[in-house]
Amino acid sequence: MLLSSFFVSLYAPGPVAPEEYIMQADRMVKIFTDTLTNKAKIAVLTRGASLSDFHIELDVSRTEDGGLLGRAVVDIQAEVRVGLDKTKLSKELKHAAPWKNCKVEKRAVPAEDLEEAGHTVSENAAVVA
């Protein structure tokens, strides 16, 4: 099995009022999970690749300018190296986001960076439902 890992972020410019942070952060988590746990969407984003395992780790935080930043590490295991279509991913995340002027970043994480960080995907990692 080959591991393909990606860093994906969604930045929503601020300010988000402190009393609305939890609600807005929950909304961002929902946007990521709705996009990255839906089999049909994953099939489109990976161009129909046959996947053995798919796992995400997600963090949402407040930025210095009072905006929101959602960051995810996406691990995909398959027989071959798998890509994640940035254009389609960006369109999907921005379409679901209620915030204006969102920015999406996606980049592949080289295997050596994962090994240096001690990152591994367990045999029981979350599989797309």
The per-residue pLDDT for range 40-84, each reduced to its tens digit, is 999 999 999 899 999 999 999 999 999 999 999 999 999 999 999
CATH no. of 2-116: 3.30.70
Domain boundaries, the chain: 2-116
Flag whether the pTM goes above 0.85.
no
Of all residues in the chain, the percent with pLDDT exceeding 70 is: 85
Dist CA 13 CA 104 (whole Å):
12
Residue 89 CB-density burial (10 A; 0-12 exposed, 13-18 middle, 19+ buried): buried
Strand order in the sheet with 68-78: 51-62, 68-78, 2-12, 103-109
The per-residue pLDDT for range 3-14, each reduced to its tens digit, is 999 999 999 998
The per-residue pLDDT for range 81-105, each reduced to its tens digit, is 999 999 999 999 999 999 999 999 9
DSSP state for residue 19 in the 8-state scheme: G
